[in-house]
Amino acid sequence: MPDCKKPELRIDWATHDAAKYAVENWHYSKRMPKSKLLKVGVWEDQTFIGVVMFGLGAGNATAPKPYGLKDGQVAELVRVALRSHQTPVSRIVAIALRFCLKACPGLRLIVSFADPEQGHHGGIYQAGGWIYAGETSADRKVLVNGEELHPRTASLRWKTADPAWLRKHVDPMARLVKTLPKLRYLMPLDAETRHRIAPLSKPYPKRPKQATDGHPPSSGGATPTRTLQDSEVAHVPA
């Protein structure tokens, strides 16, 4: 008979090099975010299987005003980069959230986004009871040498995101491209914040036909009710 034993799961801080390896090998973006990061590593049976990263830097995604919160109380889940594994992604994310909150007790809300252009609809967030808060506005990116870049990324590389300058100096085919809106998900970290953002809740979007999230299939209820339990905190070696 096959061995059905569940693997031993461990969560601990990941080094920058380990996180970078996971993102470059197991995440569709292949790029590390530029903001200040909390890098949470994941192991099954002592084998490193990836990283969950939270961004603490200032930016539109972590702006606290729309949620009635203050600076430093909102973070963004910016990467879930995992190789083949057995533990459900929603459980890994839930444990990483609890681990993150212990390190930053002032956090009250985590924001994350599912990208329909990658075939994602947010299945791991739905399975974890996140609140779906609707679509973002459509965005524009700069297409340079076949790579779609956020204008901020282009500006960091070349001091400008102006397509005319990029066509002249970098890529004669550089241009702006319109991207689909992303799907915004929210995870409140305390009861008061959950009550505060409850009016933002919308019905979960359905999985697009013939599309996957790049993770094992998962399902979640239409009403997000999950809370993070102490029993989900992973063992952290002393």
Note the pLDDT tens digit of each residue in 137-162. 777 888 888 877 778 788 888 988 88
Q: What is the reported pTM?
A: 0.75
User: For the chain, which residues make up each domain, given as ranges?
Assistant: 9-135+181-228, 139-179
CATH superfamily of 9-135+181-228: Gcn5-related N-acetyltransferase (GNAT) (3.40.630.30)
In this structure, the dihedral spanned by the alpha carbons of residues 67, 80, 184 and 149, taken in order and rounded to 10 degrees, is 110
Helix (H, G, I), strand (E, B) or coil at 191: helix
Q: What is the pLDDT of residue 212?
A: 42
Residue 186 predicted with pLDDT over 90 = yes
What is the β-pairing status of strands 131-135 and 109-114?
A: unpaired
Note the pLDDT tens digit of each residue in 27-66. 988 888 877 899 999 999 999 999 999 998 767 778 888 8
